């Protein structure tokens, strides 16, 4: 294999929400490009399956069970990762999903907070726990936060609010770590059929909220995630990149 064939050779990536859907697709894309990969989720069986697929591509893989909404659990996960790998080059904060979807006056405060924990605080927890190792690696790195077009448009529930805040976290963090050659960007996939959206979205069909959109499989998100991971030092940071088919 040439460097062109495997642009991530020698790199190590960690993907949260890596057991299925978009996270799994990105993990396999990175492994195919030469990276060793750690996948994180709450479900051991999913992690085992994805890690096996990565191993079959000839790369080193580990699955780390972790509730990324619990900072103590994230700290333990980061320690387990450090015990396995001496560097971190690419961090993808992908874990997320709708929890409380009702308007504020109809919402359950416990569910509202849980939605913010999953879609915003998890990216903060994981970044805080793992960025020190990326900095220690001394070769820069990439942080990719999986955002949403819903974070640009007012709507009910915690998901739009938390994703809007994730975009600001992306920008703020990018200004904190650029001197360490770490780039922090947002990736907006647009509508994707996943476990969480199945029943509401189907690949190839039009989603209910935008006639110009088409629903994609998770694999369609991976090329942009790979492009962001392979940018040279001094490339874009604090930016949002989208494969949506509507203005955001």
How far apart are alpha carbons 165 and 147 in whole angstroms?
10
pLDDT digits (tens, 9 = 90+) for 140-156: 999 999 999 999 999 99
Q: Which CATH class is domain 12-242?
A: alpha beta
Q: How confident is the model at residue 3 (pLDDT cuts 50, 70, 90)?
A: low
Supply 78's token pair: 């980061």
pTM for the whole structure: 0.94
Contact 184, 177 (CB under 8 A): yes
pLDDT digits (tens, 9 = 90+) for 72-124: 999 999 999 999 999 999 999 999 999 999 999 999 999 999 999 999 999 99
Which residues are 92's β-sheet partners? 15, 144
125 catalytic? Reply is no
Which residues are 144's β-sheet partners? 92, 185
What number of other Cβ atoms are within 10 A of residue 53's Cβ?
Answer: 17
Question: Any idea where the domains of the chain sit in the sequence?
Answer: 12-242
Q: How confident is the model at residue 1 (pLDDT cuts 50, 70, 90)?
A: very low
Residue-averaged pLDDT of the chain: 94
How far apart are alpha carbons 174 and 237 in whole angstroms?
6
Computed on alpha carbons and rounded to an integer, the radius of gyration of the chain in Å comes to 17
Which residues are 41's β-sheet partners? 65
What angle do the packed helices 122-137 and 71-84 form, to 10 degrees? 30
């Amino acid at each position: 294999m040439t460097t062109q064939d495997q642009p991530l050779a020698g790199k190590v990536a960690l993907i949260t929400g890596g057991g299925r859907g978009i996270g799994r697709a990105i993990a396999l894309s990175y492994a195919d490009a030469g990276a060793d990969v750690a996948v994180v989720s709450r479900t051991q069986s999913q992690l085992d399956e994805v890690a096996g697929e990565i191993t079959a591509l000839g790369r080193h893989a580990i699955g780390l069970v972790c509730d990324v909404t619990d900072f103590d659990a994230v700290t333990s996960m980061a320690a387990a990762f450090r015990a396995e790998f001496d560097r971190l080059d690419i961090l993808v904060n992908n874990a997320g999903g709708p929890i409380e979807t009702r308007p504020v006056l109809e919402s359950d405060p416990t569910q509202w907070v849980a939605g913010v924990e999953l879609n915003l605080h998890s990216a903060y927890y994981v970044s805080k726990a793992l960025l020190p190792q990326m900095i220690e690696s001394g070769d820069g790195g990439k942080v990719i936060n999986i955002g949403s077009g819903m974070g640009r448009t007012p709507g009910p529930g915690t998901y739009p609010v938390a994703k809007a805040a994730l975009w600001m976290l992306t920008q703020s963090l990018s200004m904190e770590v650029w001197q360490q050659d770490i780039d922090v960007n947002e990736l907006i996939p647009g509508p994707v059929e996943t476990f969480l959206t199945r029943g509401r979205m189907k690949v190839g069909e039009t989603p209910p909220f935008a006639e110009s959109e088409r629903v994609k499989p998770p694999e369609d998100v991976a090329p942009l995630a790979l492009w962001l991971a392979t940018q040279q030092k001094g490339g874009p940071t604090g930016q949002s990149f989208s494969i949506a088919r509507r203005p955001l």
